[in-house]
Amino acid sequence: MKVTIVGTGYVGLVTGACLAEIGNDVFCVDVDPRKIEILNNGGVPIHEPGLQEMLKRTRAAGRIQFSTDVKASVEHGDIQFIAVGTPPDEDGSADLQYVLAAARNIGKYSNGFKVIVDKSTVPVGTALQVKKVIDEELKARGLEGSAKHGFSVVSNPEFLKEGAAVDDFMRPDRIVIGIDDDDAGNLAREKMKRLYVPFNRNHERTLYMDVRSAEFTKYAANAMLATRISFMNDLSNLADTVGADIESVRRGIGSDPRIGYHFLYAGCGYGGSCFPKDVQALAQTARENGHTLRVLEAVEAVNHDQKDVLVNKIVRRMGEDLRGRTFAVWGLAFKPNTDDMREASSRRIIEALLQRGATVRGYDPVARDEAERVFALDLADRPEDIKRLHFVKTQQDALTGADALVIVTEWKEFKSPDFWHLKSALKTPVIFDGRNLYEPEAMAEMGIDYYAIGRPHVELDRNGSSS
């Protein structure tokens, strides 16, 4: 099938590559010439495991192309995926300007019946706005009501985890498709069914529903996952106070099959391109419709405060004035297997340390370049702080001579370090762990002063061992 993907970010690029992998003829378009140049030169503008290899195969097979030519992109695809960004507006609502701009271009250059697929995460009612914009453009061309230039707007939200997006697309647990119940919708349903047949070989994974319900489903899914994270983070802070171990609690409640273990890990807050934005957008949708999603308002508030928990532990242990102190920070991206720095907890934590006069040496396996770019913007008006922020190439470079280690992202390579070497590299053997990677008792036995999230702190005696 001929498919067009509008937007070459995480969602668009993964969608395009995976659809080309299974044999479709895919045209990816983007208004950013820099991205298109990178892709046409064999590079990938984002870090996503397995994506570069897939793009290399599909490019060599001639099944995927990249261009800034909007007209050619519209003329190419019978199915047009809109996969552009929907950043949060000032009030927290999703900014739909890029979605509607893409829709306008489709209406402007449409050369036959098109299925327009909203792949971007959009609030309830967006499909209607997209339809209105396309109708306006067709009317301006004198094509309104033309069967030849008909179209149907479909909601097909993505459920991709950064760091596992390729696997999630190729092995989906569900495919949600919202389609209008009319003649155009019936034709669109047949085209979408044919497109997704390869993903339904073993069993039917597609859930058909009305468009508004499909739009709502995406936000509801992310809101539920964010709620589980904030719930555990809230409990972890109480566990700190009453002396309970949040890891034991997690295992205790996760063993209940009605609850399960997923997204029950306490930490230093969620980030990324989805949860923060989608929680805000759904809460704003509720307010616009005269409702208050009280649970979701609390989820966002808890997550905001959670990003300060690790800094508060550092201050209690080492004092408010951190001038002359150096901190090694392991992990900069918001999660492992990505270089995405959007809403990353490391940004709040590092800025807080710098504000107190500390020097920071940050290390991340893949996000170093992106972190340098982001912090240059974040600290543009704080030149003295920028001078005390260094991004290093190895874990060891971060550790040597530091007063303490701060762990922010749970990369695999951080899970089993050489603790004796780590201890000798630090000026003082102190770890502040925002992801609960290690066992407090084991750390104490090695003479490491270990502070985690919602886990008991084991005091060391004067000889540096547990008491």
pLDDT of residue 467: 52
Mean pLDDT, residues 300-313: 97
Q: What is d(CA 341, CA 362) in angstroms, rounded to the nearest whole number?
A: 13
Give the model's confidence band at 201: pLDDT under 50 very low, under 70 low, under 90 confident, else very high: confident
pLDDT at residue 86 is higher than 80: yes
Is 160 known to sit in a ligand binding site?
Answer: yes
Mean pLDDT, residues 93-114: 95
Active-site residue set: 274
pLDDT of residue 146: 56
**Residue 263, by phi and psi: left (phi above 0), alpha (psi -120 to 50) or beta?**
left
Please identify which residue in the block is written with the tokens 């704080």: 382
Give the model's confidence band at 92: pLDDT under 50 very low, under 70 low, under 90 confident, else very high: confident
Is 335 known to sit in a ligand binding site?
Answer: yes
Please identify which residue in the block is written with the tokens 């925002």: 434
pLDDT of residue 144: 72
The third-level CATH classification (topology) of the domain covering 219-305 is: N-(1-d-carboxylethyl)-l-norvaline Dehydrogenase; domain 2 (1.10.1040)
Q: What is d(CA 47, CA 386) in angstroms, rounded to the nearest whole number?
A: 25
Architecture of domain 307-451: 3-Layer(aba) Sandwich (3.40)
Which has the higher per-residue pLDDT, 451 or 204? Answer: 451
**Residue 436, by phi and psi: left (phi above 0), alpha (psi -120 to 50) or beta?**
left
Is 422 known to sit in a ligand binding site?
Answer: no
The one-letter amino acid code at 462 reads R
Mean pLDDT, residues 411-438: 96
Q: What is d(CA 145, CA 184) in angstroms, rounded to the nearest whole number?
A: 12
Is 121 known to sit in a ligand binding site?
Answer: yes
Contacts for 250 with CB less than 8 Å, ≥ 6 apart: 232, 261, 264, 265, 266
The one-letter amino acid code at 426 reads L
pLDDT at residue 61 is higher than 60: yes
Domain ranges in the chain are: 2-209, 219-305, 307-451
Give the model's confidence band at 202: pLDDT under 50 very low, under 70 low, under 90 confident, else very high: confident
In sequence order, what E strands does 88-236 have? 114-118, 151-155, 175-178, 206-209
Is 272 known to sit in a ligand binding site?
Answer: no
Give the HSE-up count for residue 406: Cα atoms under 13 Å, Cβ half-sphere: 33
What proportion of the chain, given as a percentage, has pLDDT over 90?
93
Residue whose C-alpha is closest to residue 241's, from 75, 457, 463, 466? 457
pLDDT at residue 459 is higher than 90: no
Give the model's confidence band at 148: pLDDT under 50 very low, under 70 low, under 90 confident, else very high: low
pLDDT at residue 461 is higher than 80: no
Residue whose C-alpha is closest to residue 106's, from 67, 150, 64, 65? 150
pLDDT at residue 439 is higher than 80: yes
Is residue 326 a contact partner of residue 401, using CB atoms and an 8 Å limit?
yes
What residues pair up with 327 in beta bridges, in sequence order? 360, 404
pTM of the entire predicted model: 0.91
Is 148 known to sit in a ligand binding site?
Answer: no
Is residue 99 a contact partner of residue 80, using CB atoms and an 8 Å limit?
no
Neighbours of 37 (CB within 10 A): 13
Fill in the DSSP letter of residue 457. Answer: P
pLDDT digits (tens, 9 = 90+) for 119-128: 999 999 999 9
Is 264 known to sit in a ligand binding site?
Answer: yes
Is residue 138 a contact partner of residue 149, using CB atoms and an 8 Å limit?
yes
Give the model's confidence band at 205: pLDDT under 50 very low, under 70 low, under 90 confident, else very high: very high
Give the HSE-up count for residue 258: Cα atoms under 13 Å, Cβ half-sphere: 0
pLDDT of residue 460: 81
In 3-state terms, what secondary structure has residue 20?
Answer: helix
pLDDT digits (tens, 9 = 90+) for 263-292: 999 999 999 988 999 999 999 999 999 999
Which has the higher per-residue pLDDT, 462 or 306? Answer: 306
Domains 2-209 and 307-451 share a fold: yes
Is residue 127 a contact partner of residue 99, using CB atoms and an 8 Å limit?
no
- Superfamily designation of domain 2-209: NAD(P)-binding Rossmann-like Domain (3.40.50.720)
Token pair listed for 188: 């669109």
The rounded mean pLDDT for the chain is: 95
Mean pLDDT, residues 390-407: 96
Token pair listed for 150: 């008909």
Give the model's confidence band at 70: pLDDT under 50 very low, under 70 low, under 90 confident, else very high: very high
Least confident stretch, 145-154, 232-241, 389-398, 423-432: 145-154
Please identify which residue in the block is written with the tokens 């897939």: 54
What proportion of the chain, given as a percentage, has pLDDT over 70?
98
Q: What is d(CA 196, CA 194) in angstroms, rounded to the nearest whole number?
A: 6
Is 266 known to sit in a ligand binding site?
Answer: yes
pLDDT at residue 464 is higher than 60: no
Is 267 known to sit in a ligand binding site?
Answer: yes
Give the model's confidence band at 347: pLDDT under 50 very low, under 70 low, under 90 confident, else very high: very high
